[in-house]
Structure 1
């Protein structure tokens, strides 16, 4: 049987700075590939999967700056990296790129078998293939350049919905999406784009108005990865 492999851009240990797990020591596994096309994306180096930029896992782990180099990695190899690096965190955040381009069931199950919890950060535009025990954060990307639609199935699978906002139309789009997908029982966070003052003020006011929660990207205020 062919082993499951994932295209990995980087792996690092830090503090989760967003959503319900804010402040939690976490291992981030960033996967390569995303066609969604968010204009404000801060990880555009993960968008394209260029075979010419494939390297080995040691080269990925040796990175000291953002790059579009990636490696094909098995779940077993990832676990070995966690051990070799002596990572202490037991919460693994699988992000991207767009992680739900991949079937994440084998990876998440192996993580659980070895004492880790898993969290997926997705745009909601691809089918979410994860076990029930995985925490799913949907950051719905509405009307992006790639033309992908946010899936009702992704919204309904979400444990939390974390929506980036810069202007009122972003709040209105979220309200419409929640109505269309009959999503009423989730934790909902608003996240100001790029920590802009105006966006932050809008997010605070909207959270109070709708009884939502605020996510402020704590890691960026702290100046950590």
Structure 2
């Protein structure tokens, strides 16, 4: 199957969020996202512009975040892992909004090559992947893109990771959990932009609801 993906970044690091915090991971960041989160820290992945397409080596080795992306086949991706000497066996597919694409062929190939897979998605697109893939849904409510959170995404989620800065964000999450009947799933609260008030709110809310805290460890460590 000749499947390709638009990749903005491909790098090895430590997963800093959610259930896999501390796990050595290879990140595949896909280009393209119409959701429009105001606090997004990867806005350079939003637009797909052909003038930003570059060869794979230029994308892999770019010195800083940018709008440039490369088209990569599954074989290209696996070859790059090998050529770069990556040791991690956990692959995080993120964006952008990765679920704009059918990720099933990619995850099948990665799993067949000995990798575990994780998808990080806003829950606004159908999640097409393997049964074994770990799905992190970070539901984005009432964003300017106007997309609804899909019930199918909430049901498929292995964990729900919700960015918070205000009580309204907590209320949004509680409504979502009740609406889709997923109160039993692991819930992580992630303070937006590491702000003190957001962090204090997240800690207090986690304790009150027996939820978990995700503090974007990679940003505190100063790594990608």
CA distance in 2, matches of 1:55, 1:11: 13
Residue 128 in structure 1 maps to residue 127 in structure 2: yes
Alignment partner, residue 180 of structure 1 = 179
CA distance in 1, matches of 2:61, 2:152: 37
Structure 2 alignment gaps of length 5 or more: none
CA distance in 2, matches of 1:86, 1:54: 24
Residue 169 in structure 1 maps to residue 164 in structure 2: no
Alignment partner, residue 210 of structure 1 = 209
CA distance in 2, matches of 1:130, 1:155: 14
CA distance in 1, matches of 2:183, 2:199: 24
What does the per-residue CA deviation read over 1:120-171, in whole Å, with 9 as the maximum and x for residues that have no partner?
A: 0000000000100000000000000100000010000000000000000000
Shift of 1:205: 0.6
CA distance in 2, matches of 1:190, 1:10: 25
CA distance in 2, matches of 1:160, 1:63: 32
CA distance in 2, matches of 1:33, 1:160: 23
Shift of 1:185: 2.2
Residue 197 in structure 1 maps to residue 215 in structure 2: no
Shift of 1:61: 1.1
- Write out aligned runs for 1:89-108 (5 A): 89-108=88-107
Structure 1 alignment gaps of length 5 or more: none
CA distance in 2, matches of 1:5, 1:82: 16
- Write out aligned runs for 1:15-94 (5 A): 15-94=14-93
Alignment partner, residue 152 of structure 1 = 151
Given the two structures, how large is their TM-score scaled by the length of structure 2? Answer: 0.99
What does the per-residue CA deviation read over 1:93-139, in whole Å, with 9 as the maximum and x for residues that have no partner?
A: 00000000000000000000000000000000000001000000000
Given the two structures, how large is their TM-score scaled by the length of structure 1? Answer: 0.98
